[in-house]
Amino acid sequence: MGKKLKDRFNRVITYLRASVTDRCNLRCRYCMPEGGVKFYSHDEILRYEEIERIIEAAVELGMRKIRFTGGEPFVRKGFIEFLKDVHQNFPQLEIALTTNGVLLGKYIDALKDAGVSRLNVSLDTFVPEKYRYITRVGNLKDVLHGIDSAISAGFSYLRINVVAIRDFNTDELFDFVDFTAKKPAIVRFIEFMPLGGGVWSKDRFVSAVELRKMIEKERKLYPLEGGRDTDGPATYYRVEGAGIIGFIAAMTEHFCDRCNRLRLTSIGQLRPCLFSDRGVDLKAILRGGGSKEELMQGIVDAVNMKPAGWWEVIGTDTVMSRIGG
């Protein structure tokens, strides 16, 4: 069906993650450095029309899913109108969102109208003081309200992303597991990645295998049949007496062989891999008066730059808030 965008390793690329801003209303310690980052200026970041031109080219090449991320997508002015526009112009495109959830309650009804079908909300702890500590400025109740609003609004594809950090939230694993019994949401534990921020350490890193073993000491886990994301890195289990949990072994498991994505930074660089600073400057094409065909060629070039795996390219200095996770 339609066109297929294939890389040098025969992986089909169908999924674009687009960061609409590097700004954020939180300052998570593992994502942004202590002193914050120097944010890009208004002129540096892509205008919404420019992002839509990239989407047009990407869809024409066979992309079928887009996830908007940040920074925090909701802090960019006009984001909801932009989403509605994308939905109207590309009705066949699946639209997903990754958010810290702080402003979710405020915008949830508008999100439904904008055709957003999948929501990922980041939440690392249920303890208000710990939440304040890890985000430096956040209030836990805002996120919990956001999650409840999403559930009330009927978002059936809701996932909670938890970055697992030893001696920070490993004592709350079962609170997260039990959350899946109380709420119609999937919880996914993500391995802590040494990206920017400088707070990563070996001691604080917990592998997905260790996390699973910790949970299996007290709960029975049943691997879900075909229990992997069709277009993502998670492995899923049903928990006895609870719902579904997943593990994203970003560091320990080489799921690069299943990678199907490209990442667009807020300043218009199209990156073939999360762990590399290299990419194709689509903004230069756009602002140099490039045609749709030239944009499509830029996308193909980025696809051809995809490495076999992150171990070939790791060495990024970029902070997560600029790439969007």
Output 250 or 303, the one with its CB closest to ligand SAM.
250
14 binds, among ligand SF4, ligand SAM, none (CB under 5 to 8 A by kind): none
The two tokens of residue 115 are 């055709």
Binding mask 85-104 for ligand SF4 (x = CB under 6 A): ---------------x----
* Of 67-75, 107-115, 144-152, 226-234: span binding ligand SAM (CB under 6 A): 67-75
| Nearest-angstrom CA–CA distance, 40 and 45 | 7
Q: Is 296 in the site for ligand SAM (CB under 6 A)?
A: no
DSSP line for 16-85: EEEE--S--S---TTTS-TT---PPPTTTSPPHHHHHHHHHHHHHTT--EEEEESS-GGGSTTHHHHHHH
Output 98 or 149, the one with its CB closest to ligand SF4.
98
Helices (H), 196-281: 208-216
Q: Please, what is the minimum distance in Å from the beta carbon of residue 10 to ligand SAM?
A: 28
Output 36 or 78, the one with its CB closest to ligand SF4.
36
Q: Please, what is the minimum distance in Å from the beta carbon of residue 322 to ligand SF4?
A: 9
Q: Is 266 in the site for ligand SAM (CB under 6 A)?
A: no
Question: Which of 63, 66, 88 is closest to 18 using CA atoms?
Answer: 66
- Residue-wise over 9-34: b if at least 16 C-beta within 10 A, else e? eebebbbbbbbbbbbbbbbbbbbbee
Q: How many CA atoms lie within 13 A of 308 on its CB side?
A: 2
# residues near ligand SF4 by CB under 6 A: 13
Residues that bind ligand SAM (CB under 6 A): 24, 30-31, 69-72, 98-100, 122, 161, 163, 190, 192-193, 195, 320-321, 324-325
Residues that bind ligand SF4 (CB under 6 A): 24, 26-28, 31-32, 70-72, 100, 122, 320-321
